[in-house]
Chain A
């Protein structure tokens, strides 16, 4: 074979096949690729790749850096398909990059309508892919299909009205022939929903309201017209179990955020996880983490699915570290509450009843003069992806430790499209939009950590402390590495077994997306964003 023929063969051999849904379900069979937001539909953010090990991780070096032309937080987790990286530059620029060099193949810039008003930054957390088509939700609440080869838009549907405060910020989830998204807007008195769209045409196939309407079960947890402005936003990608054909989604806070007076009752399905039939959107079960929430404890965490031995029998479980400061294990077939324990300091509840309903502590409620609550408004954790490693059996949480807010409540009146929050939590620690500055906080005033939990007991196995809090997700590997970063501008690798620091790099900006891993031509990369840039590292 002469060289040209050989080259041709290599090129044809690597011609990307379409990303079928089977490939997505079997994503662990092709660890060189990262086909969905959390790696697989089980959402463990764990890679089977093992080239980078605890022994050689110190030899990592930067392969490329992509500097975004956007000063917004870089929250997207990239997808990688056969050497091509697909990601989003905020707010809604879709990009295809060479995963080896970071060079741009194409960019499609979507201009969101001026009415777009996402609460907390003009952010986007990534894409979904099916076949040759990429899917993106936009901050003006549209869902777009884009040709993965050339960035040409294929269809564009309006999911909700941006004028009323709706936005789409999370990466869509593909299940079979559908694309599933949910609406953000919990600070604007929206009535949230999750909807599935035909991947080919963009036609809506089903819709599940996170706030049940009159006649629907759960509606009795609302009074008067409060359900119409009840919130229940969705802003982090869900998961899917193919055996049960259930898709799981975490639901955000009730509206108004910090004053429960206008909305007596439990306020279902805010601050809950819902399990929906993936074909019909019908509710199979739910579990509410924070009934009648007054602390903005969105349950918008990634539902991490794991199959493990649970008290002597194999069980399909769901692992969940909630913004409310508690770590949970649920049976994901039935929604049964198996375990709940604080993973950081919690003072708003002090135990569970036998069904897993938290017992509220009297007096721990927002007030005119201010009430100190642990964890504070950003939560014990938040949307930052956790990771589960079946090898270590540990669940890893980006945690805010010793963190509190003082909650003030004030009256609020709903006006369409305006903020509807009715309060003001204050804390020594700012949210992810807070500008940086010198850090002179004492440890006991709040700091960040990676906390490694044993799901079987809810006990913490180890922790890695950070000086500042963290907005970064966590990736683990089959070589027992853990990658994450923090607000103070480091990206680092720990030994997933014991938390020992193995490697670190000063990256300057805050790390605020979930790291991921891929490989091209046999070389493993770890990619993450920090500040306004996207970085890819590999061994020297």
Chain B
């Protein structure tokens, strides 16, 4: 339900073009590097530096992915952009992420929210922790939100709350599974291959099944998460977004 960046990515630099694309996982990994190394100067939307705005594809000089990778590795001497001791491959992942910012959902200016009130709503009225986990508390069935503010933008978070079905990230897909013996359950798909599937069930158990034991499995295009459009006032929604934005997972190693 976030604005999913669905598309993998072959950058022109990327090492190895004709046969090389980036997967959503690459973009996620690139995002991790970005948050660790670039966020402070460039901001989550990549628009903190004047005339450079990654989420609108605006650059001073860089045109190609290769250019961006070169800037990341070598920096821009005398202009405040430091060099980074990255391999080409790491730089490519960051490029994938930088490009993804321009492809994800549009902008939203969050109404002034109060993150303290937002925290209270998340923990009580919103019952978010029955599905989500924040800093070690709550359920693991929904995505862990401990660092959600580090990589989702306010507009995406607001959309997640009011239109949870709009986009469901590939790693957050729930399936209804009917076994050959008739047992039926709903669980989050963690992985699969040609012959097996791995799920997390609602009791947070990891379950691995042979496809030959499964009669049918159906992707639930409706998110298990309820819409908070009518459950929370617009002020409450703004409060929740402010709180989520503040979650940067700093306490992580």
Contacts and interface: CB of A to CB of B under 8 A. Distances in A.
Interface in B1-16: 6-13, 15-16
Contacts of B250: none
Question: Would you call the interface of chain A mostly helix, strand, loop, or mixed?
Answer: loop
B22 interface: yes
Contact of A433 (B6, B19, B194): B19
Contacts of A427: 7-8, 10, 21
B86 interface: no
B173 interface: yes
A504 B12 contact: no
A424 B170 contact: no
B234 interface: no
Given A424-B11, A440-B171, A434 B20 contact: yes
Contacts of B66: 419
Contacts of A426: 7-10, 21-22
A202 B70 CA distance: 40
Given A419-B66, A422-B12, A434 B193 contact: no
Contact of A467 (B20, B22, B193): B193
A455 interface: no
Interface residues of B, number: 37
A257 interface: yes
A424 B65 contact: yes
B12 A253 contact: no
Contact of A429 (B8, B63, B192, B194): B8
Nearest to B65: A424
A187 B18 CA distance: 7
B21 A377 contact: yes
A439 B12 contact: no
Given A427-B7, A440-B173, A421 B219 contact: no
B13 to A, nearest CB: 7
A431 B19 contact: yes
Contact of A435 (B10, B25, B65, B198): B25
Interface string A482-504: 00001011100000000000001
A438 B9 contact: no
- Which label, helix, strand, loop or mixed, suits the secondary structure of the B interface? loop
A253 B20 CA distance: 15
A192 interface: no
Nearest to B211: A467
B64 interface: yes
A419 to B, nearest CB: 6
B21 A425 contact: yes
A5 interface: no
A410 B17 CA distance: 14
A109 to B, nearest CB: 23
A298 B17 CA distance: 13
Given A425-B10, A427-B7, A440-B171, A121 B16 contact: yes
Given A405-B21, A431-B19, A442-B219, A424 B190 contact: no
A465 B10 CA distance: 26
B133 to A, nearest CB: 18
A490 B16 contact: no
A431 B192 CA distance: 19
A468 B21 CA distance: 15
A382 B19 CA distance: 9
Given A120-B18, A488-B193, A440 B170 contact: yes
A215 B181 CA distance: 73
B23 interface: yes
Nearest to B190: A438
A431 B24 contact: no
B189 interface: yes
B187 to A, nearest CB: 12
Contacts of B9: 424, 426
Contacts of B171: 438, 440
Contacts of A121: 16, 19
Contacts of A468: 193-194
A429 B23 contact: yes
Contact of B194 (A382, A410, A437, A486): A486
Contacts of A282: none
A490 B194 CA distance: 8
A433 B192 contact: no
A433 B198 CA distance: 24
B191 interface: yes
Contacts of B191: 438-440
Interface in A391-430: 405-406, 410-412, 419, 421-430
Contacts of A429: 8, 21, 23
Contacts of A422: 12
Contact of A428 (B16, B24, B189): B24
Contact of A440 (B10, B15, B64, B189): B189
A412 B12 contact: yes
Contacts of B198: 438
B23 A120 contact: no
B26 interface: yes
Given A411-B63, A439-B193, A430 B18 contact: no
From B18, B26, B171, B191, residue with most partner A Cβ within 10 Å: B18
A431 B173 CA distance: 23
Contacts of B21: 377-378, 405, 425-427, 429-431, 434
Interface in A158-197: 186-187
A441 interface: yes
Nearest to B7: A426
Contacts of A257: 17-18
Interface string A471-490: 00000000000000010111
A442 B4 CA distance: 15
A432 interface: yes
B8 A419 contact: no
A119 interface: yes
A433 B11 CA distance: 13
A429 B12 CA distance: 17
Given A296-B17, A426-B22, 18 more contacts: A119-B16, A119-B17, A119-B18, A298-B18, A406-B7, A410-B64, A412-B12, A419-B12, A421-B18, A425-B21, A428-B24, A430-B21, A434-B21, A442-B219, A467-B193, A468-B194, A486-B194, A488-B194
Interface of B: 6-13, 15-26, 63-66, 99, 170-171, 173, 189-195, 198, 219
Interface of A: 119-121, 186-187, 253, 257, 296, 298, 377-378, 382, 405-406, 410-412, 419, 421-435, 437-442, 465-468, 486, 488-490, 504
29 contacts: A120-B18, A253-B18, A377-B18, A377-B21, A378-B19, A405-B10, A405-B21, A410-B12, A410-B63, A412-B12, A412-B64, A419-B12, A419-B66, A424-B99, A427-B7, A428-B170, A431-B10, A431-B19, A437-B23, A437-B25, A439-B193, A440-B190, A440-B191, A442-B219, A467-B192, A467-B193, A468-B194, A490-B193, A504-B195
